[in-house]
Amino acid sequence: MKKLRATGPTIAEAIEKAKERFDLKDDEFEYTVIEKGSKGFFGLMAKEAVVEITIKNGFYKRKLEQFMNQVLSTYGDINVDVQYVGRKFSVELGGKDLGRLIGKHGKTLAALQHIATIYLNRLSDTKLSVIIDADEYRERRKKSLEQMVRQVIESVRSNRGKVVLDPMFAFERRVVHEIVKKYQDIRSYSIGVEPYRKVVIEYCPDKKDLLISDQNFKSSVCGS
């Protein structure tokens, strides 16, 4: 996680300066002494103490909670629960009238996730990810997608053609690709740029053992 240095007449003062400057709590960082510091002779040639501060995940969790509560303050009584594993932070929102927070096809939720990710990464020098969910929307959306994709696959098989789906968020496209992988005569790939990136589901009787990913698909010719 992020590391920074602080100086002061003593180690304790250097740490306090870092806590005040970066709004750190005692359990949100670790430190290593780089230079103990010395007073010198008669006040001359004194050396300041230098400490290296390593910010822990607890700091980012608190900051993300504060940010979310501030952003959602106009939505009424919304509960914000932040958890993390490594560099992945998940935010679960609870409360009444969550439909406004989710928005049509999850667009409001996605926008909120986008700005939360930008905010958190401005505090860190390593990439952190943020996933926001409300009222288990992501799981419900996943089930809805699974049903829709299977219907599209049957249609594509019948017509021996392809279907271009509406623009989707990254997690939705991954769901589609995972489902399509299970079919020997169907493949999928993504086209376009964010936030209008779409998935194409295509009939492909000559499909080979290709790894088709959302990032590195190179050919749109079936079986090539």
- Angstrom distance (rounded) from CA 97 to CA 118: 26
Average predicted confidence (pLDDT) for the chain: 87
Looking at the structure, do residues 49 and 77 belong to the same domain, yes or no?
no
Last residue of a domain, one of 100, 135, 170: 135
Full residue range of the structural domain in which residue 37 is found: 3-55
Q: What is the pLDDT of residue 45?
A: 59
Q: Is the dihedral of CA 68, 69, 70, 73 positive or negative?
A: positive
Question: Locate tokens 């609870």: which residue?
Answer: 94
Q: What is the mean pLDDT of residues 83-105?
A: 89
- Beta-bridged to residue 82, according to DSSP, are 91
Last residue of a domain, one of 88, 107, 135: 135
Q: How confident is the model at residue 208 (pLDDT cuts 50, 70, 90)?
A: low
Q: What is the mean pLDDT of residues 65-71?
A: 95
Q: Give the residue with greater pLDDT, 104 vs 92.
A: 92
- Beta-bridged to residue 129, according to DSSP, are 88
- Angstrom distance (rounded) from CA 101 to CA 103: 6
For the full predicted model, state whether its pTM sits above 0.85: no
Cis before 9? omega within 30: no
- Look at residue 215 and tell me if it is in a domain: no
Q: What is the pLDDT of residue 224?
A: 45
What is the CA 127 to chain-centroid distance, rounded?
A: 9
Label the pairing between strands 3-8 and 49-55: antiparallel
Q: What angle separates helix 170-180 from helix 137-159, to the nearest 10 degrees?
A: 50
**Nearest C-alpha neighbor of 161 from the set 153, 169, 149:** 153
Residue 121 neighbours by CB under 8 Å, 6+ apart = 127, 128
End-to-end Cα separation, the chain, in angstroms: 43
Say if residue 25's pLDDT is above 80: yes
Say if residue 221's pLDDT is above 80: no
* Collapsed DSSP state (helix, strand, coil) of residue 34: strand
Looking at the structure, do residues 121 and 147 belong to the same domain, yes or no?
no
- Look at residue 101 and tell me if it is in a domain: yes
Domain count, the chain: 3
